[in-house]
Amino acid sequence: GLDLTPYYPFEDDVIRWHRVCREACEPFGKDIYPKYKKWCDEYFYLKHRDETRGVGGLFFDDLNEWGFDKSFAFMQSVGDHFIQAYRPIVARRKDSEYGSRERDFQLYRRGRYVEFNLVFDRGTLFGLQTGGRTESILMSLPPLVRWQYNYQPEPGSAEAKLYDDYLKPRDWLAGR
């Protein structure tokens, strides 16, 4: 699957992301996007924080509801659409200015990624619990993170907007 975890999200990016996710799924049935979007929202949810890790996308595991050819075609579609969904975001945001405040928040939010991977991610847990190569498994974690006790973003700030508007599951394509 694919999911998007922006630290400073833009609604038009999130809507386009979900629109492209839906387009990837449409040839395989109208019920596929809502099904895998919901699974993504549920999977990338930090129960102890009551927040999603990001703004969602598509998640599926052990894809076996179709035969090999259709499953492979679906995987190809998702992979091809990832580039269509992500490249425009990078192109629009790559030159965005940032300072120490934004960098500190990025490092802080990376901590949520670490929490998710070490507490909930099935692949990470499987690898660690079955004697996998620990160093290889932990290489997926960001090299730098920041922890701050009981962090609360300043009301009305861009950081608060992430929590207020983006870290709860929602239908990004309602009416679209």
Residue 25 domain flag: yes
Residue 38 domain flag: yes
Per-residue pLDDT of the chain (176 residues; tens, 9 = 90+): 899 999 999 999 999 999 999 999 999 999 999 999 999 999 999 999 999 999 999 999 988 889 999 999 999 999 999 999 999 999 999 999 999 999 999 999 999 999 999 999 999 999 999 999 999 999 999 999 999 999 999 999 999 999 999 999 999 999 77
Residue 61 domain flag: yes
In the structure encoding, which two tokens stand for residue 106, read together? 């990025």
Residue 174 domain flag: no
User: What CA–CA distances, in Å, run from 114 to 1, 36, 55, 146?
Assistant: 19, 23, 17, 10
Looking at residue 64, what is its pLDDT?
Answer: 87
Residue 172 domain flag: no
Provide the whole-model pTM. Answer: 0.92
Residue 173 domain flag: no
H helices of 130-175, where? 134-138, 158-161
- Say if residue 147 is exposed, middle or buried (CB neighbours under 10 Å; 0-12, 13-18, 19+): exposed
Looking at residue 43, what is its pLDDT?
Answer: 96
Number of domains in the chain: 1
**Residue-range definition of the domain harbouring residue 88:** 2-166
- The amino acid occupying position 92 is R
CATH number for the domain including 77? Answer: 3.40.1500.10
